[in-house]
Amino acid sequence: MALKVGDTLPNFKAKDTNGTIFESQNYIGKQPLIIYFYPKDDTPGCTTQACGFRDNYQKFRDLDAEVIGISADSVQSHIKFKTKFNLPFILLSDTDKKLRKLFGVENDFLFIPGRQTFVIDNNGVILFVFNSMQGKIHVDKALKILKELTK
């Protein structure tokens, strides 16, 4: 069953680009999170989305939020993607697709892994869920929700 607005972010673990284990419980209760799932490293739409988050990263940080990108690519692929595009945020590897299943992110167009963004408040409550194959829209919508949260 898919996570929806009002649900609490479940505890999960995954490897980041440093090869260390990221644990969601270390962030819940401390800061808002933008968790976005994307299909594949270094593809046109995913690069546009990632660079949109990169270009607006300071705006997210000014709102005390952390950005986390998740795909089924390997840690090694994430390292190359992060380095090539100078991505300052966390990328998590979900090679077994357990996180995609945990969040309930479905495939788009039958076989392409879905592109979905979750905005989570500092208490771990999901405030917003957005699904669109247009990557740049995710950045704008997430920023808008965060700004409303901090009013």
Catalytic residues: 46
Could you give the maximum distance between any two Cα atoms of the chain, in Å? 40
Report d(CA 12, CA 104) in Å as an integer. Answer: 14
CA nearest neighbour of 116 among 98, 102, 103, 125: 103
**Alpha carbon of residue 88 to chain centroid:** 13
Q: What is the three-class DSSP state of 103?
A: helix
Strands of the sheet with 21-23, listed across from one edge: 21-23, 13-16, 90-93, 66-71, 33-37, 116-120, 126-131
Instruction: Give bridge partners of residue 13 from the DSSP assignment.
Output: 23
Report d(CA 98, CA 101) in Å as an integer. Answer: 5
